Amino acid sequence: MEETHEDLGVHLLASRRSTPADPPGGSRPPPCWRWGRGGARRRRRCGAGAGPEPRGPPRPRPRSRRGAEVSQQGACRMARWLPRSTDLTRFCQKLNRVKTLEADMMETSFNRCLSTIDLTLLGIGGMVGSGLYVLTGTVAKEIAGPAVIVSFIIAGFASLLAALCYAEFGARVPKTGSAYMFTYVSVGEIWAFLIGWNVLLEYMIGGAAVARAWSGYLDSIFNHKIKNFTETHVGTWQVPFLAHYPDFLAAAILLVATAFISFGAKVSSWLNHVFSAISMGVILFILIMGFVLAQPKNWSAQEGGFAPYGLSGIMAGTATCFYAFVGFDVIAASSEEARNPQKAVPRAIAFSLGLATGAYILVSMVLTLMVPWHTLDPDSALADAFYRRGYSWAGFLVAAGSICAMNTVLLSNLFSLPRIVYAMAEDGLFFQVFSRVHPRTQVPVIGIVVFGLLMALLALVFDLEALVQFLSIGTLLAYTFVAASIIVLRFQQQKVDGPAQPAGSQPNPEQREGIAAPELKEYESFSDKLQLVGSDKSKEHREPGQLKAAFEPYLEFLSDFYPGEVVTVAVVTLMVSAVCLCSILVFGNTHLHLPTWSYSLLLVLFSLGFVLSLLLIWAHEQQRSTQTFQIPLVPLSPALSIVLNIYLMLKLSYMTWLRFAIWLILGLLVYFGYGIWHSKENLREPRPQRVSARYVVFPSGSLEETVQAVQPSPQPAAGLPDTDTTEAKR
């Protein structure tokens, strides 16, 4: 009786032989069979209460045999649907595969025309305007009070840690895509897609929120006549998370900005220069006039004090203030259009973040000193403050200048969003139509138009504060994964695609290792051979991700792992410990109501796990210093960024997390429905070999296996592939 099973190119031929004439020699018969007279095999009853064995041959039972066949067929059907361990392993490998970088990363279909000044003004335009003219009044009145200054300081420090990570990635990987690209080259595909999916929403919400603020400021210039006209002739909405009335003016400005962005990077940069110059002039005017009109009594206890909402309000305001620092992400997303990204990206991020942080702190100080914080108008705080102090002309100037500043934010959001969509589509994880670049303007026009329309729709119907809260969690999550990616990338060799190989040829070791190939030549020298013998193991060259020589006597069991494998596990442990630690800090006394001893014990345990993971990462070799910018104090600096970002995420409301979970579920549907099947990394994976195995069981108990590796020949004859046969016995 022979049965053939075929699954995933594996052919299994199982042959079972039975020789009833042979007596039981070296093999033991099954427990439910015994050998009778003349070597005849008889069936006996199994079980504890079995009676005497029957004499003579057993009676045939066709119904029982038929039932056994039916049950066997049913079991085979069930086995077909159950996933095997090899299939699950291959599936997990697909989810965590990393992107292979090209050998020449400066080659691009975009126009590299942006200088350091262009990138710096692009970053300033992305940060100054949105938070300065929108969030200062909202956070001061509803969340933190005058302590919004402290919120901006903490947010600026946390953004600095994340900005340094972005600067290193932008210099080493000068490709568009920002956090999506950085995660893809170091962590894995599904994580990169989810980060890119959230960054898309981040930019759409950012543009929509700024467009509504732009509309509100323009409406304040005309004494809210636009708002009154819309409410009278169109109507109002009383639906949660939706605007009180449809904002047609905000949608219109987004459509106009979309049209300008479609003309190319040079036109966008020129417009950004004009609006940024006006915005910085208005900021200088606000600071000078504000300090002249400042009244210190507005911070006194009679007005509620400096921090009326306490430390909790300061930290909650910090999480919301992250919306103001999205601008440096715009610089990283534009690195593929920079002339010299290795130097321009780190410098532009440092200059723009420093200037923006100083502007936020000073303007928040001026605003809360001019008028009491509890009387601020959240929609147009700065202009309303000048109006109330009797300087109507100054309020008009501030409102006009803020509109120009918000135009830079709209331009930066619409400038970066289609490029991230382009990066995902170019990798095959998003719809290919968005990877088309216009031959004349050298920009992804289809992505600009489509997402410009979606952004206009968001600005038309959604509420500003709900959008801002949703934006913070996406930004913080991107910062967290970029910081983790820095640690992973520092302790592994970079995967770079070498030059194309002809069909059927084998790549040499240098091409297989990418940019790390020149380091392999060091092992061919005479001195390295002496080191391998053991003359001086302490100075032996070690690859990134390997255990340092100083720790090898104490952690010798870690030397058996692949380079970078222990670091990856330690990074996961570090992030889990950070989540648990921050959860205890945020919810331990309020929601969980933990007693003091358990609260302290959990803090010590999770802090210990975090520190031990950090030390374990530090005990491994990092990549050697390169000519590009590198963040100092790795892994300490990225680890601090991870902890602070997770803490701020947990401070957000539960409704923000609920909306975020719904958006993630939609993203997973897109990935498993399209991205995983069209990923270009599928083409780089080696095809599985077809293996034919034949098992023969003999009565002696031996098992002989014949394995045939079936590989198609480059030139098959008569449609049949040649085969290479290797035999092994066990």
pLDDT digits (tens, 9 = 90+) for 630-671: 898 899 999 999 998 898 888 778 888 888 899 899 999 999
* The pLDDT value given to residue 153: 92
Average pLDDT over residues 401-414: 85
Average pLDDT over residues 225-247: 82
Q: How confident is the model at residue 453 (pLDDT cuts 50, 70, 90)?
A: very high
Average pLDDT over residues 371-391: 84
| 473 vs 468, higher pLDDT | 473
Q: What percent of the chain has pLDDT over 90?
A: 24
Instruction: Give me the helix-helix angle, 654-670 and 189-221, nearest 10°.
Output: 130
* The pLDDT value given to residue 85: 78
CA–centroid distance for 330 within its chain: 16
Range with the largest mean pLDDT of 162-176, 225-239, 646-660, 711-725: 162-176
Q: What percent of the chain has pLDDT over 70?
A: 74
pLDDT at residue 532 is higher than 80: no
Q: How confident is the model at residue 506 (pLDDT cuts 50, 70, 90)?
A: very low
* The pLDDT value given to residue 89: 85
Which residue intervals of 491-514 are DSSP H helices?
509-513
pLDDT at residue 694 is higher than 80: no
Average pLDDT over residues 84-109: 82
Only one residue has tokens 């302790």, namely 491
Q: How confident is the model at residue 541 (pLDDT cuts 50, 70, 90)?
A: low
Q: 0.95 exceeded by the pTM?
A: no
Average pLDDT over residues 225-241: 81
pLDDT, tens digit, 9 for 90 and up, residues 582-632: 999 989 888 888 888 999 999 999 999 999 999 999 998 888 767 788 898
What secondary structure, in 3-state letters, does 392-455 show? HHHHHHHHHHHHHHHHHHHHHHHHHHHHHHHHHHHCCCCCHHHHCCCCCCCCCHHHHHHHHHHH
Q: How confident is the model at residue 114 (pLDDT cuts 50, 70, 90)?
A: confident
Give yes or no for a contact between 130 and 290, defined as CB atoms under 8 angstroms apart: no
- Nearest CA to 402 out of 415, 389, 388, 385 is that of 385
Task: Average the pLDDT over each of 202-206, 208-212, 220-224, 232-236 and give the range with the smallest value.
Answer: 220-224
461 φ/ψ angles, rounded to the nearest 5 degrees: -120, -20
290 φ/ψ angles, rounded to the nearest 5 degrees: -65, -45
Q: How confident is the model at residue 66 (pLDDT cuts 50, 70, 90)?
A: low
